Amino acid sequence: MLRWEMRISRSTPFVRHIGQIFVLLLFTMNSCRDSYSVKLSDAVTVSSEWVELRPVPPLRADKTLQWIQLVLQPPFKDDFDREGKGSNKGKGILMPDGDVINPEIEVVDENGNTFSFVYGGASGVQLPNYTLQYPAKLPQDRTYKLVRIRSSRQITCKAVYWYCESSKDWK
């Protein structure tokens, strides 16, 4: 029986070129996207007092959808697997004791108008998303100067992001 085997070491030009092409493709794919995110905060503890995040420059609702994403610090996580208990089971942040909670999140525009965001799903175990209740949309003719968050139960986030997703990226 004849056996053919090709071994490619990491130091061969072939492997280096494939790696360079892969990195270039990833960069090109991401740079062609119309959607974007803005980091609003590094690590933050959310409790019953409002945490106020003031982005500079102010945020714009210039794409199809907007949402706030919390990057949770373990042991907190999204209840995607419906392990929790209570009326929010499967729809919020799973606390260590099994309760499922959702913080209050508000976005305030340049005129002082307040828009309440609600749980809208998750992008991963540690990444719950909050958005306006469908079919509401944020007005595009103004800027948003403040995002505030509070919670009846204390949670810790590694970061908080604003996402603006464009329907152009859905193709």
What SS3 class is residue 163?
strand
Nearest CA to 120 out of 111, 131, 107 is that of: 131
User: Taken in order 78, 83, 86, 91, is the CA torsion positive or negative?
Assistant: positive
Domain spans in the chain, listed from the N-terminal domain onward: 35-166
Residue type at 42 in one-letter notation:
D
Structure tokens at 123: 């992008």
Q: Whose structure tokens read 């373990």? A: 74
Q: Would you give the distance in Å from CA 159 to the centre of its chain?
A: 9
Least confident of 29-38, 56-65, 98-107, 162-171: 29-38
Higher pLDDT, 60 or 167: 60
Better-scored residue on pLDDT, 46 or 7:
46
Strands 59-60 and 143-150: antiparallel
Q: How confident is the model at residue 55 (pLDDT cuts 50, 70, 90)?
A: very high
Pick the CATH number of 35-166 from 2.60.120.1380, 3.40.50.2000, 2.60.40.10, 3.80.30.10: 2.60.120.1380
Residue 152 is given by DSSP the state: S
Residue 36 pLDDT > 80, yes or no?
A: yes
